[in-house]
Structure formats: C-alpha cells, structure tokens
Structure 1
Amino acid sequence: MSGPGRFVRVDGVPLHVVVEGRGPVVVLSAGLAMAWFDWDPVAARLVAAGRTVVRFDRPGHGLSAPAAEPPTAAAEAHRIAGLMDALAAPGPVTVVGHSIAGFHAEAFARLYPERTAALVLLDSSVEEAPRALLPAGLRTAAARALGRALTAVGLPVALGPAARRATVRASRTGGADPAARDLVRRCYRTGRVWRGALLENSRYPDMAAEVLALRGTHPLTAPATVLAGHDGGTGRGPRRWLARQAELADRLGARFEAAEPAGHLVMLDRPDQVARAVLTTSDAAQPRA
C-alpha cells in the first residue's frame, strides 16, 4: 500500500501527487471520487517494469485541495501538462485515464500530441451523443449547494468511509476494498471529497461534448488502447457496454481489449492486465526526435 506523497501547486491549486520508479513516464488518473491509492497494484507492476509512475488527485479528490472552478476536459488536460512541468518530468508521457478521467486523458493526447507517447483508456466513460437537460451553471450551483448541505449535516463524517467501501465492492468482481482504512478515513470523511465529486459529475455531459468536438479538430497521433472491464455477464447491459467500448476503440483507431472478469474498477480486479496494456501501448510508440 502506498502512503501520501507530496503537494505540487498547479494553476494555484495544491495537487497531491505520488511519483515512483525510474524510466519512461506513465501518468495515472482515476475515475470520479477515486484516489491515488486505487492505482497501487498497477503502479507496483509498472515500477517493476522500469517506468516512472505519476499518480495525482484531481482537485477535490484524494488529498488535493478543492477545485477553484468547475472542470472542463481542456482544463484537466492543461492540469496534466502543468503537473508534468512542475515535476520536470521528461516526455513524452503515457497517459492513462479511468472512467471520467478518460475524457481528460484523451483531451491531453489531442491537445498536447508532442507530449503524448501513448494513451490508454481504462473502462472509460463514453458518450456517443452527450446532452444535458439543465444549463451548466444551474447544474454546478445545485452540486455546490448539495455538497455544502451534506457537509453541514455531517454525512461525510458519518457515512463517507462506509459509502466508499460499498461503492468499491459494487464496482469489482474480485472482492472488497483493499485500501488502507486510515487513508480511506482521511479522504472520505471530508466534505471536500464529496463536494469535489459532485462538482465534477455536474459537468460530465459538458466534458463529453467537449471531447467529441476535439475529435473533429485535433487528430489523435499517439498509439492508443481501450481496455474495457467485463464481469462475464451475458445480459444485454454487459454486452452493450463491451460493444460501446469496442466502438470507441474503432473511432479512435485504438487497440481494443476486454479484461475479464472485471468490474468497473479494472485496476483492482485485473492489475496485471492493465499494466501489460500500458506497457504494450507505450512500447508501440514511435521514437520521437
């Protein structure tokens, strides 16, 4: 299990980051409300394979400070670039995005092609025709108000760690939450993490639409892999999810792979396969001058 790392200020926001290993750089960004330690099994394998692994918590996640502004895909791509600058990390880098962070990782690869060695989308969010029923400003205001209200009544303190563990169990095929209890309490008893997740989720359709627009203006030049989790179910839901992930890979010109059995938290259920996919994709990158 990894402990806390250090803090790096990017665009005025202190970000919590853990850097381990030596070699080509791999940046890992987890999904909504997840933290740096959810990458522990994958990070250990990548470090052993000769990679420098950078894990960071987005604003309002893990141990990072709250977000100053609602997120956008471009701003999150800029945040990754700013973090690499602050760390003086050699590039280009392989960027790995899980779930909603798939939007951020793809935006980085499209907006910073010269800094991208490879792209891996891990059970990434995918929206073929994103739309929102309410204006972005109204959604953001509602998310902030709800976050303040939940914090005021003490819900994060009372239920935060239990809610985290229940969510992880429901999102895996391989068992319970392996995260250290002290780290879970430190992160999920705070209203900051609940508010951060609500704020990020409120802008989900906007980020999906933003990435869709980027596909028409900024070509993807790095080798890419879409790795989808599949729990082995034969129902319509699991089959449709795999099909959508395969269609995403086809649209991106990416390699497609299914991790089975795995829930949404593929990095916990199939860390060996995730690490292999990252190494295979980064090894496919052409040497850059």
Structure 2
Amino acid sequence: MAHQPAQERQARTYNGFGAIALGLLSGALAIWLVMERPGGSTIGIALLLFLATAWCWAGLYMLQPNQAAILLFFGSYRGTDRSEGLRWAIPFYSTGKISVRARNFNSEKLKVNDLRGNPIEIAAAIVWRVEDTARASFDVENYEAYVLTQAEAAVRHLASRYAYDNLQVDEHGNASAEITLRSGTEEVALAMRTELQARFAQAGISVLDAKLTHLAYAPEIAGTMLRRQQAEAVVAARSKIVQGAVGMVELALKGLEQRGLVDLDDERKAAMVSNLLVVLCSDHDATPVVNAGTLYT
C-alpha cells in the first residue's frame, strides 16, 4: 500500500484565559462548599470541582508568534494549532511545538564539476520555513537535517547543469548567449529555488529565497583560467581596436578623395592603409617620418 503523505489540519483548541477563569471559579466554589456547607455529599462535589480545576489548568500551553503546536491523542495526529498566546486543549493531548519562522542556511563551500567538467567552488544561502507542520513532523525523520542534506544535493546538481563562464565565442569575438553560473545570476537563482522547492516538498518546507554566495574556480585551475580570461580580454580589445581603425582609415581615404587633395593609385592606397593601421593599432606611440620629397619618392 502506497504511503499517504501527512496533511496539516486545524486543531480544535480554545482560549487559555477562559480555561483559567473556569478553573478559578470551580476551585473557589469547591473551597466555599467545604467551608460553608461541610458534609459527606458536599465533600464529594468539592472533589469533583477540584478535579475540574485540574482539568482546566492541565490543558494549558502557550504559543509565541510564528510557532505552532502539534496535538497528538495517544499517537494519533489531531491537528495543528497556530494561534499565538495562551491556549487550551484536552489534557489527554500531547503537545509538541514547532517553529514556523523563516530560517537561513548558509551552505559550506562545495567542490564540484561544472557542465564542462571544470572543478569549481560553490556555496549558497537558502531562506526557508516550515509550511506544512504535519509533513515536517511525520513524513521525515528530522526535517532540519533533511533540509541540510537536500540543499547540498541541490547545489551540487545545479553546478553540474551550468558552465562556470561562457568561453565560447563566435567569429566576431562575441560570447554566445549561453546561461552560465557567473553571468546568469537571476536565471540560476530561479532554477535553484525551483529545484529546492521540489526536493523540500516531501517535508512540507517552503523555499523563500536562494542565491549563490560564493563562486570561484578550484585553486588547482584558478591560475590557468585567469590567464585564459586575460587572453580573451586582450583578443576582444584588439578586435574592437581593429574595427575602429578600419573605419577611421576608410573615412580618411574618402575624405581625401572627396576634397581632391591628393590622387592615389592602388599601390599608394595600400601603403597608406598599411601605415595608418600600424599607427592606430600599435601598442606604442608612432614615430613619424617626414618625407621631404614627393609622395612617390
């Protein structure tokens, strides 16, 4: 027979101050009967009134804000009370308290492999709370330990679904639109919350927020990946410089032709383009050479 998950339901409880008032009233009445009307029958009624006082006071318990009480009747679940303050339930009920406040969990730095197999270090901060007290109490052995274990498993699985960084570029030197752990912050956080919620559902836990707090390459490859990133940055910068230089040379040639300042053949145009590109793309300041003759000497 398949296991049926527990389901939280509202317990039938009452205001505790009313129970205190009834207990005081019955106790005072019992004392009055013993003192004012002594006798065999009166003693019996007084004992019943004292028992009623004990019954009223034995079922008292107190709940703080964002705290719930699990009520059991000889091991049978009778419901959950989420009403704060002084409460009263049948004294035969056993009461177990559980916090429904938001809690924060910071995972340890985990060493895992990303989508491309690169070892990385990753950690996350998860905000969660107990949503279904019945499931948290009866469907898992220890819901706090369950959260820690499932959170670590979810972070490990998340890291294996994405690459740390986008290392694939097109022919123009632009990175592809792939979602990565480093660039896709919002998408990765949403995916982590979705997976955590699916894992926590069995324990009646709700995920309020989840974000990565640490992300880095593992120490053994950090230096290599840094050099690779620096090289990619240099290539991207060079590509922009060359594109800009080509545009400037094109504008210079068009300006000379439109104004009729000089008439260049194809060979001289090629030489001029070469000189301009060298000047514009060089890492060092250009050293001009003054030609005292004609343009063709």
Under a length normalisation based on structure 2, what TM-score does the superposition of the two structures give? 0.15
**Which has the larger share of strand?**
2
Larger Rg: 2
Higher relative contact order at CA 8 Å, sep ≥6: structure 1 or structure 2? 1
